[in-house]
Amino acid sequence: MTNVVSRSPAGSTPAGSKNRSALKAVLWGGLSAGALDLTWALISGHLQGFDLSSIPQAIASGLLGTRSFRGGIPTVVLGVALEFLITFVATWIFYLSSRKMAFLTQRAVVAGMLYGAVIFFFMRDIVVPLSAAPKFPSTPVAVVAEFIAHLILIGLPMSLAVRRYSS
């Protein structure tokens, strides 16, 4: 019996290998960015006196509005799931973009931090205002801290995972 390997159009790597690389990039980028962002939010929220469950519930409030804060464990789970959905999708977008723009992986640190900035402004100026989330008060210091967190804890792990697993 002969062993047949499916090849990509270029013939250089097996097609399944590229799919596995994409999956690994999105999985590790999304998991690491989601875990880091959620950890930062939990620590930051706790230091500000918020109940830990209110942090993922605040994420879920984007879909449910203020009802999310009365939803108990189910809305905590929903908030965590939404956090990771967002980071998986954002990593997938970065991965797809990196297939057309090689500099995104060649300069992964800079590209990742810039992507974190893009995510910050996209979420703050488009997604959150269009969501059902209540308007949370914020200070300039909190906005700067959140911006820096997006650069380092969200965009950077996504870009580094994509660079690591790109074929």
Q: Please spell the DSSP secondary structure of 102-125, one letter per residue.
A: THHHHTHHHHHHHHHHHHHHHIII
Instruction: Evaluate whether residue 3 is within a structural domain.
Output: no
Instruction: Evaluate whether residue 8 is within a structural domain.
Output: no
Q: How many domains does the chain have?
A: 1
| pLDDT(111) > 70 | yes
* Mean pLDDT along residues 50-58: 97
Check: CB of residue 34 under 8 Å from CB of residue 49: no
Could you tell me the pLDDT band of residue 100, with boundaries at 50, 70 and 90? Answer: very high
Instruction: Evaluate whether residue 7 is within a structural domain.
Output: no
Strand, helix or coil for residue 131: coil
Q: Tokens 């290998």 identify what position?
A: 17
Instruction: Evaluate whether residue 6 is within a structural domain.
Output: no
Instruction: Evaluate whether residue 145 is within a structural domain.
Output: yes
pLDDT at 11: 45
| pLDDT(9) > 50 | no
Instruction: Evaluate whether residue 52 is within a structural domain.
Output: yes
Handedness of CA 108, 16, 31, 83 (dihedral sign): positive
The domain of 75 spans: 18-165
| pLDDT(6) > 90 | no
